[in-house]
Amino acid sequence: MIQDIIKDSNIKTVSILGCGWFGLALAKKLIGLNYTVKGSTTSQEKLAILQAEQIKPFIVNFTAESVVANATFFEADVLFICIPPKRNSAELLDYPNKINSILAAAEKKTKHVVMISSTSVYADDNKIVNESSETIPDTDSGKVVLAAEMLFKEQFPENHTIIRFAGLIGPDRNPGRFFAGKTNAPNGLAPVNLIHQADAAGIAVKLLEKQAFGQTYNACSPNHPAKMDFYVEAAKISGLAIPEFIAEKKNWKIVESLNIPAYLGYKYEVRI
């Protein structure tokens, strides 16, 4: 059922916690649209890079127990939390508590919080999923991301905005490299769930323009070619060794969105 969205007609200042591959791309796009953007990094070396893009740079360090940062970073109309879980197993398990620390630091300072999440919260259960589907993740990263989402919803029960990205591709993430030269790669007939960086940033911007806070969004290209078709073609385009897949379809899902068409009306730029 379509719910009323929470409106805020005065969105001018955006803080982006985590100016990595996606966060920096979003920040640069917002600067081009005349938003005031604060960006965080844990690296002194990256401060100059942010400043060169007219992003107000901040060092923000966070653990499962606390956040060390200039409090003015969190004083924003919108805060995007763009911190993916670490692959290291020990840090992976700390992820929900790190998000909890960040949410505590942002409370009463930020009008709207947007958490960047992942479609890994849905199991590969051989079906189509959307925002109303049950979330039963079947990977460790999916489980900690879902746990972080639940903490977010508990702390901001009336206004939690979540964007669940499918697999991200784009500059410096050439999909042709993912399977280049591999043989007998499994699950070649399974559909892919991907989104290009341009569309990932475009959806985040559209969220601000529409002021469509308080919803969960599955951000995934509406095109879902078979894995073997997509990655063979990507390798060819990049001049890389052509992978070979087993023509089988096991453990798959197709990620769709009800809320992006309903609330954002976003049109994807890059066809997968």
Q: Which residue has the higher pLDDT, 271 or 8?
A: 271
Residue 142 CA to residue 136 CA, distance in Å, equals 9
Which residue in the block uniquely carries the two structure tokens 């042709």?
A: 176
Name the pLDDT band for 8 (thresholds 50, 70, 90). Answer: low
How far, in Å, CA of 59 to CA of 47, rounded? 8
Q: Which residues pair with 167 in a beta bridge?
A: 194
The residue type at 82: C
Q: What is the pLDDT of residues 52-102, one digit of tens each?
A: 999 999 999 987 787 888 989 999 999 999 999 987 777 788 899 999 999
Give the model confidence (pLDDT) of 194-208 as tens digits: 999 999 999 999 999
The pair of structure tokens assigned to 133 is 């589907």
Please tell me the distance from the alpha carbon of residue 250 to that of residue 187, in angstroms, as a whole number: 6
Provide the pLDDT for residue 3.
Answer: 46
Neighbours of 146 (CB within 10 A): 19
Q: What is the pLDDT of residue 67?
A: 85
Greater pLDDT, 1 or 125: 125
Q: What's the confidence (pLDDT) of residue 93? A: 85
Cβ neighbour number for residue 49 with a 10 Å cutoff: 15
Domain boundaries 13-172+194-223+254-264, CATH class: alpha beta
Buried b (16+ CB within 10 A) or exposed e, 63-75: eeeebebeeebbe
Domain spans in the chain, listed from the N-terminal domain onward: 13-172+194-223+254-264
pLDDT of residue 87: 77
Is the pLDDT at 4 greater than 70? The verdict is no
User: Would the pLDDT of 5 be above 80?
Assistant: no
Query: So what's the pLDDT on residue 90?
Result: 73
- Report the number of secondary-structure helices (H) and strands (E) in the chain: 7, 13
Going from the C-alpha of 75 to that of each of 15, 16, 107, 112, 137, the distances in angstroms are 8, 11, 10, 11, 33
Instruction: Give residue-wise pLDDT tens across range 207-260.
Output: 999 999 999 999 999 999 999 999 999 999 999 999 999 999 999 999 999 999
Residues in Cβ contact with 145 at an 8 Å cutoff, skipping those fewer than 6 apart: 85, 95, 117, 118, 120, 121, 137
pLDDT score of 2? 41
Q: What is the DSSP letter of 263?
A: I
Separation CA 45–CA 102 (nearest Å): 23
